[in-house]
Amino acid sequence: MRKRNVESEKQTILREPESSYEKALKQKYRAGFIKGIICAVILCCAVVVLISWWTMNRKVEVTVRGNGDTVQTARYPQVLDNSAIEKINYLAAFIQANYYEEVDGDDLVNAMYKGMFESLDEYSDYYTQEEYQDLLEQEVTGSFSGIGATLQQDRKTKQVTVVSVQEGSPAEKAGLQSGDVVVEADGYQASDMELSEFVQHVHGEEGTSVHLVVQREGVSGQMEFDITRSKVETQTVTSDMLNDKIGYLKISEFTNNTPKQFEAALEELENQDMQGLVVDLRNNPGGMLTAVTEILDDILPEGMIVYTEDRAGNRQEYRSTDEKVLSVPITVLVNENSASASEIFAGAIKDRDYGTLIGTTTFGKGIVQGIQEFNDKTAVKLTTSRYYTPNGTCIQGKGIEPDIKLEYKFQGGENDKYSYSLDNQIQKAVEVLEQEID
């Protein structure tokens, strides 16, 4: 029996011509395979395009304030795409890897947040939890542990200046004055940090002390102060009778408790048979819009106080009623450091022709900031609108011209202490009021 040549058969079988069915099947398979590859490529491209489109066009839901107290949400395009996020993470890692000192990751993140707001204007800001809590203590509770001085920082030069010193405060007792430039606090340079961070070194536990180095105009060299911190009540209103007819009321800033303090001080002056009132807003940096409008509602008859408009044209009006009206003539003292809410006060008095402004042109801050708190107890302050005086004037960058221009000049000698009688602007205000009374 002959052996089968298996290998030869294999070859023969492999070499057999394909049937038409097999050819069609293979062609169909090849065509399907190629189509599959093409479809897969197209699908991958589509996915990439869709992901890119989604990344570029995905939106973030944010809180938007409308007219009045209405709050709504809106969706805005997400600014940071994947490449931007990757770059931020790379830069943070690069800093941590190469900076000559150890860097705290949280500090980098907070600096990034703050940087976003620094790109807008000098008033918008981001607050960490600690900074926001400190802000709340001063504006809501009206008290804090510190020295009793209001500080202001130039955004470009980082110079920190004392805007006002609270009467009876540790700062006043130590000899700190309005206009002093604070160079450092406990060795921390003011020019090396944001004001919110620098203030943390000025504030502290009650009973502890802070060492300040300041520069004062007209004094050669630097001055040093050791000031013991105490619980400081934010007393923003002080009052006195300048003579038997003229009352004097100074507002250092507008906080939540200012309207009640104003009302109490005004009532005390009226009980002393006041016939004319001097309101001193010099060196008042401003404050809360609601505070100044509440005070003006106690002074002006029914009508417009101020109105705001955002970029969408949403308008919010603040009007006075006839519930309370100041029945005596009024003069208002202003200067180049009278800003924001102080200018709302001055603008309303001037436009409504309800008093006389005396002093120098005001600061020129005609924009309004709002504060938004987040779930993690951080917050932002953002410029949201412009404000307009009753006549429709926006004073941003221009200020308000007083009715009587008069530069401040101390009338006393070199060794004389300040008193109302030696303040030429106060004396001019008294003169104007006495003419109206007579």
Number of domain units in the chain: 3
For all residues of the chain together, what is the average pLDDT? 84
Residue 377 lies in a domain: yes
For residues 223 and 327, membership in a common domain is answered with: no
- Phi, psi (degrees; rounded to nearest 5) at 278: -105, 120
Model pLDDT for residues 254-300, shown as the tens digit of each residue: 988 899 999 999 999 999 999 999 999 999 999 899 999 999 999 99
Asked if residues 178 and 163 have their Cβ atoms less than 8 Å apart, the reply is yes
Residue 26 lies in a domain: no
For residues 261 and 195, membership in a common domain is answered with: no
CATH of the domain at 158: 2.30.42.10
Beta bridge partners of 150: 164
**pLDDT confidence band for 35 (50 / 70 / 90):** low
Model pLDDT for residues 417-430, shown as the tens digit of each residue: 788 999 999 999 99
Residue from 328, 346, 284 nearest 433 by CA: 328
Model pLDDT for residues 211-249, shown as the tens digit of each residue: 999 999 999 999 999 999 998 877 889 999 999 999 999
Instruction: State whether the Cα torsion 44-49-52-58 is positive or negative.
Output: negative
Question: Quick count: other Cβ atoms within 10 Å of Cβ 396?
Answer: 14
For residues 241 and 207, membership in a common domain is answered with: no
Q: Supply the DSSP symbol for 410.
A: B
Q: Does the pLDDT at position 7 exceed 50?
A: no
3-state secondary structure of 104: coil
CATH of the domain at 261: 3.90.226.10
The whole-angstrom separation of Cα 121 and Cα 380 is: 13
For residues 371 and 275, membership in a common domain is answered with: yes
* Residues designated as active site: 340, 365, 369
- Phi, psi (degrees; rounded to nearest 5) at 435: -65, -40
119, 225, 296, 351, 371 from 402: Cα distances, Å: 33, 36, 18, 11, 31
Asked if residues 225 and 177 have their Cβ atoms less than 8 Å apart, the reply is no
Model pLDDT for residues 60-103, shown as the tens digit of each residue: 555 555 444 555 556 667 777 888 889 989 998 999 899 999 98
Displacement of CA 369 from its chain's centroid (Å): 6
Model pLDDT for residues 308-352, shown as the tens digit of each residue: 999 999 999 999 998 899 999 999 999 999 999 999 999 999 999
For residues 213 and 115, membership in a common domain is answered with: no
pLDDT at 322: 84
For residues 274 and 192, membership in a common domain is answered with: no
Of 213, 233, 253, the domain-final residue? 233
Tokens of residue 264, six digits: 């109490």
| β-pair type (181-185, 188-189) | antiparallel
* Long-range contact pairs involving 192-198 (C-beta distance under 8 Å, separation at least 24): 192/158, 193/158, 194/114, 194/125, 194/153, 195/151, 195/152, 195/153, 195/160, 196/125, 196/127, 196/131, 197/131, 198/151, 198/153, 198/160
25, 329, 392 from 265: Cα distances, Å: 101, 17, 31
* pTM of the model as a whole: 0.69
For residues 287 and 212, membership in a common domain is answered with: no
Q: Does the pLDDT at position 383 exceed 90?
A: yes
DSSP string, 307-357: EEE-TT--EEEEEE-SS----S-EEEEE-TT--THHHHHHHHHHHTT-SEE
User: Exposed/middle/buried for 327, CB within 10 Å: 0-12, 13-18, 19+?
Assistant: exposed
Domain limits at 154?
143-233
pLDDT at 65: 53
For residues 208 and 303, membership in a common domain is answered with: no
pLDDT at 246: 98
Look at the chain and count its residues: 438
The whole-angstrom separation of Cα 306 and Cα 291 is: 13
Mean pLDDT of 23-45: 48
